[in-house]
Structure formats: structure tokens, C-alpha cells
A and B are shown apart, each in its own frame.
Chain A
Amino acid sequence: MAKRIGMEVSIAASEAVKLADVDLIAAYPITPQTHIVEHLSEVVADGELDAAFVPVESEHSAMSCCIGSSAAGARTFTATSSQGLALMHEILFIAPAMRLPIVMVVANRALSGPISIWNDHSDIMSEQDIAWIQTFAENGQEVFDLVLHAFRVAEDSKVLLPVIVNLDGFTLSHVIEPIEILDKAEVDKYLPPYKPKVRLDPRKPVSMGMVGIPEIYTEAKKATDEALINSKKVVLKAWKEFGDLFGRYYNPVESYKTEGAEVILITMGSISETAMTAIDKMREKGMPVGLVRFRLWKPFPAPEFKKAIAGVQTLAVVDRALSPGGACGPVAEEIKAALYAERGRPKVYNFIAGLGGRDVTVENFEEIVSKAFTYAKKRPKQLYEMIGVREI
């Protein structure tokens, strides 16, 4: 039976990986991901998990090793952050093109420079176009559940795509929370053993990763894109079944107090809990505000999102990453693009907050909402606005 225990969120992530009975873990240290692979190295060393633990010499090799492993038919996991994710960049595109169901946890962290070990989303927002399924966790329970969900979706024969589970570095990865850890029998009900359709096998040789001449490259890209778009059905089904089995139901977007809201805050990740506190406070004051947060980021859940914000005239999108020299942050950009063709589309105001570990406080959210109300009446001069910048 499931047990609710106080546990560091990183450890909960690795406990989920253990319960998924993975075959291979590629590991290279990078803060704040380290606790995940450290704990996995311990469970392998103690014989609690029968897996190959490959302590590679770089994140580039970690992802390369994962591809070699997954192509051989093994259930494969790795975790990374920030510069490590950036070092993997080149190889990240290749896993979905080969339809390899690798699961990776990214403990989100700012990118250099200046070098920063603290949390924001600039690492993962630089990986928008890699064709991996991507989810964002709000708390420790979600991290545990989303990791199991990731294997279930990735390995579904209708999907066969790699999945990234994003969790905020430190603010989530290093926090101890009460988390309900499922037991092996329960996980087995949800996650069947991985049976690869195609794998490297001398008895039945295949060539993988071949040259894509101009006559085929476009079609290959289209096929990957379609696979990613079509994966959403399985993503939803796997969440429904998770809820039916364990009582926790998940959606691609979550709404909080959006009934009658005039301004809706849009967030991703663990700041959403602070945002909820801010919403409660503002609602008490009679302000008509609500919150929508993304749990599924790729494929972008456009219909669910449009439904969640239907009828609202003003959106205040909080980005945790900067797109220097651009029109707005990456989340706002996606939202604006998704809404552009809609009749009576809402105004979208973009706020960049919490870069490089700067706290995003209840007051910050109050400021953002207050600005959004003002801009709804008098349009802002700038395309986006950075919150909490100190005058030095």
C-alpha cells in the first residue's frame, strides 16, 4: 500500500525511477540535479534496483548513452540541469527522431552567464524545439506521479517519444514534502514492462539514424511532429488511468479560482503555489483574479488552455526565462501565437520574474496583477516587463 512520508523531492523522483524498474541510468553530476542520480546510484549499489548505472564523462555522453541504451531496448533514464541540458542540446533532437522512449528529469536552473546554480526556466526554454513531451511539476507529489506517467506515455506503442519531467531546482528539488509513495505492486498495475517494437538485435538487423536526403527529410520531420501532437491523447489517457487507480487526477492545464475572473495569471512549476496564495489574498480583497497553470507544456495543450481562459479579457503571463531581444518571454510567445487567430482574443501582458533564483513572492504576483489591470485600461509602452529589478 502507498505510504505518505516526508521525503526530499529529488529522492521521490528517484524512488519513482526505481519503482519503474529501469534498466539503465546514465549519470553525470550537475547541481541541482545531483541528488536524483546520487540516490539512484545508492539503490543500484544496494541491489534494490537491478540496473546498469553508467557514470558517463559528460551530459553529452549521458544523452548519447541513453540513445544507445534505448535503441538496444532498455528502459532508460537520466537527469540533468542547466548547462548540462545545454550540452546535451545537439543530441536531444535525435532521440525523438528515432522514437526512443527515454525519460529525463530536468531540475530547472538558470543558464550562464553569469553562472548561476539557482532556479529559473531558461535551461528548458532553450529546448523548445526538441520534440520531447514535456511536463512541469508543481510539487513533490506531482514529481513522483509525473515520472511514472512519463514512462507510461513514452513507451506506449502509439507514442514512442522521449519525455522530460521539469521540476524547479532547489525550490522544489531540495524541499522535503509529505509524498505518497506507491508500492511496487501498485506501480506494476499502472506501468507495464517495456516491449520495444524495434531494437538493435543481430537476429533482426535494422539501421537507425540514417542519412535523410532532401527527398525524405521533410517527411521525417513531419512524422516526428505528428507523433508529438498525437501523443496528447495518450498523455490524457495515462493521467485518467492514474487517477482511476490512485485517486489523483491530472490535467494538461489547471485552473484556480478563474470563475468570474477579469485577470488570469498564467504560471508554470512551483511558483504556482505562491501564486495561489496571492490569488487567495486578492480574492479576499474582492479582486476578480484567477490562475491557470500548465502541467503539460509540449505538445502545447491549446484547446484545454483556450477553454481555461474562455471569456477572460486580460492575461498576465509570468515567464521564468528571458528571450533577449525578442518580443516577449517564451511562454507568452507561445500563448500569443496560440490565441492570435481567436476572435475576441484576450490581451496578453508578459512579466519576466524569478530569474536565477530570485524569489517570486506573493507581493510580486500582486504587483503583476495590479499592472495587468492598469494595462487593460492603458496599454503599456513595452512589449514585456521584468519584475523585481533593483535599481543599482
Chain B
Amino acid sequence: MIKELENFKGFSAKKLPLADPLASGHRACQGCGEVLALKLAMKAIGMNSIVVSATGCMEIITSTFPQTAWNVPWLHVAFENAAAVASGTEAALKVLMRKGKIPQKHIDVVAIGGDGATADIGLQSLSGAMERGHDFVYICLDNEAYMNTGVQRSSSTPYGAMTTTSPPGKKSFGQATKKKNVPAIAVAHNIPYVATASPAYFLDLMNKAKKAALVKGPAYLHIYSSCPTGWRHGGDLAIEISKLAVETNVFPLYEVIEGKYIINRKITKPKPVAEYLKKQGRFRHLTDDLIAQIQRQVDEEYEKLLKLAGETA
């Protein structure tokens, strides 16, 4: 057990923090699962934080001048560099406190980016920041495509999904590659805390966000963030789909604390992946064969995860 986590009791539904670092009044689409995830994570981390945002949905919808939805200090520089900017902020705060130029007080530096900013263009700066050991939390809000620019595929887009740059056609079935495993890449950096989370399991998500903030050193949080616009599902289905993703093992919830895998919600009788796929327009074109193939991939990935956690099915 990491020392900083020993006294952390966890949030309870009856006793949630009242303050919201991310206020209502932002411009997210109706039913956005991503902004919900971000709001929950920030609620858990709290007001004594500085947020560095990559370019993306969450940046655009919260910061249209002259309005801001942020009740905490917030900085956006570019698309691919949230982790590098956060490195500078974190290192500067530390040295300014050491030199007595600002009061000694722990401030949580939080970098946020979408899957494009994390898995693709920003992977280098994220890797650099994790390797250098900056004390910050990186949150990837994974909506599985470049949603902000009109639903283009990213390396985090799942196999078979339709996007505007992975369209199904006579010679294509949609995204032809498997989703990049960024949590595993984070784990490979030997950082103290890595976790996956989903807004459908909000206490789990908040607890993980808080733990990520509490641990010293880099922490990586990969949050499932449904997107009604890009995934072609109803604006009322974000939570239902987020829940199904976990129940079908498409998006398992786990933590990796100091390299040790812990499955937080072990699904003993997973629902068929088809149930998850059929709720979303982005998978509408899939044949039964492809669905069966995706089912096999999901099962294999889950098996691997079980092994990593030292468990059996």
C-alpha cells in the first residue's frame, strides 16, 4: 500500500464534496459522458488544484472567452503538450515553494486530454513527463475518436468502429486496428498509480481520481467517456452504455498500484459484447462475423488482464 493512500477512506454517496472545480454552464453537447466524467474527477480532486488542458472537446466547451467554466486555475497551451506544460507548472510550484516565493502548500496539478491528445499526438510529452517523475495527475478522457474535429479515428478507436476517417465501405469494415492500450504504456513507465474508470461507477471514479491526486509522482487515469454525437447514440444513454462497457468487459475497471494489478469490478458472467455494440450507430454496419471476432478480442484482453492481476475467470 502506498503511504499516502493509507488514510484515504473513499467518498460516499451521502458525503460528496460540495464544491465543483468545473462549474455548470459549459457548452458540452447534450448527454456528453466526457464532461460528466471530468466533473466527477475534478470534484474528487478538489479546489486546491491547477488544471492544464490539451486542446479538445473539454477545452473548447469550458473556455470560450470571455466566459470560463473553471473555478480553479486553468491553462491551455496546445493539443499535444498538456503533460509537458504540467511538468513546467509542477516543477515551478515546487521550486517557488522551496525558495519561499509562494506559501508552502500542496497543490494538485492535473493535466487532461482526450484520447487523440493522449494516445496519439501527445504520447511523447506524456511519456516524457511520466519518466521524469513529475507529481501530477494525467487524465485521459477517452471518447475513442477525435470528436472535437468531427469524429476522425484515433489510435484509441476500437476495432470495427465507424468514424469519418475509418468509414465502412466495399473494402473496409471501419477501424481496422485494435485500440491502443495506453494504461499499459503508463504502467510500463513504472509510475505509482494507473487506473481505469467510468462515470457509470461514479464513486469508483471519484475514489480513483482522489487516489491519483494523493500519490506522490505521476498518476495516470484513463476514463471511459461516451460521446452521443460521435458514437451515434441517444443523449440519454451515456450512463447505460458506460455501464454496459464494463458489464461486457469491453472496458474493465482496474487499478495498477506500484505495478500491481487489481481488478475493481470482476465480471463473472459478462454480457455479450453485441449488447454493447448494438446500442451505438458507429457499430451499425458490423456483420455477425465481425461481432464474433470483437467478442473474441474482448475475451482475450480480459484473460490477459486477469493473468496480470493473478486471478482466474
- What is the interface of chain A, defined by CB distance below 8 A to chain B? 23-24, 26, 50-52, 54-58, 60-61, 64-74, 76, 90-91, 94, 193, 200-202, 205-213, 216
Contacts and interface: CB of A to CB of B under 8 A. Distances in A.
Nearest to B85: A68
Contacts of B166: none
Interface in B67-104: 68, 70-78, 80-81, 84-96, 98-99, 101-102
Contacts of B47: 202
A307 B181 CA distance: 64
B65 A216 contact: yes
B81 to A, nearest CB: 4
A56 B84 contact: yes
Contacts of B50: 72, 200, 202
Contacts of A51: 95
Given A71-B89, A91-B81, 4 more contacts: A57-B131, A91-B77, A209-B76, A211-B60
Given A211-B64, A211-B65, A61 B70 contact: no
B91 A200 contact: no
Given A50-B95, A202-B47, A68 B52 contact: yes
A71 B93 CA distance: 10
A210 B128 contact: no
Contacts of A55: 132
A154 to B, nearest CB: 16
B280 interface: no
B295 interface: no
A121 to B, nearest CB: 26
A24 B93 CA distance: 10
A19 B74 CA distance: 31
A76 B47 CA distance: 26
B237 interface: no
Contacts of B128: 56-58, 61
B121 to A, nearest CB: 11
A205 B125 contact: no
B74 A207 contact: yes
Contacts of A57: 124-125, 127-128, 131
A211 B76 CA distance: 9
Interface residues of B, number: 47
B229 interface: no
Contacts of A202: 47-50, 72-73, 107
Interface in B46-70: 47-50, 52, 59-60, 63-66, 68, 70
Nearest to A67: B77
A207 B70 contact: yes
Contacts of B88: 24, 26, 54, 64-72, 76
B65 A213 contact: yes
Nearest to B127: A57
B185 to A, nearest CB: 14
Contacts of B77: 64, 67-68, 91, 94, 209
Contacts of B84: 56, 60-61, 64-65, 68
B65 A212 contact: yes
Contacts of B98: 50
Contacts of A74: 92, 95-96
B89 to A, nearest CB: 4
Contacts of B132: 54-56
Find the residue from A66, A90, A202 having the highest chain B CB count within 10 A.
A202
A68 B54 CA distance: 12
Nearest to B48: A202
A91 B73 contact: no
Contact of A208 (B75, B94, B101, B124): B75
B74 A208 contact: yes
Given A57-B127, A212-B65, A213-B64, A50 B87 contact: no
Given A64-B81, A72-B93, A205 B65 contact: no
A61 to B, nearest CB: 4
B88 to A, nearest CB: 3
B125 A23 contact: no
Contacts of B78: 64, 90-91, 94
Given A61-B128, A76-B92, A94-B78, A54 B64 contact: no
11 contacts: A24-B88, A50-B99, A54-B87, A61-B87, A64-B84, A64-B85, A64-B87, A70-B88, A202-B73, A209-B76, A216-B66
Contacts of A71: 75, 85, 88-89
Contacts of A94: 77-78
B75 A209 contact: yes
A206 B73 contact: yes
A208 B70 CA distance: 10
A24 B92 contact: yes
B89 A52 contact: no
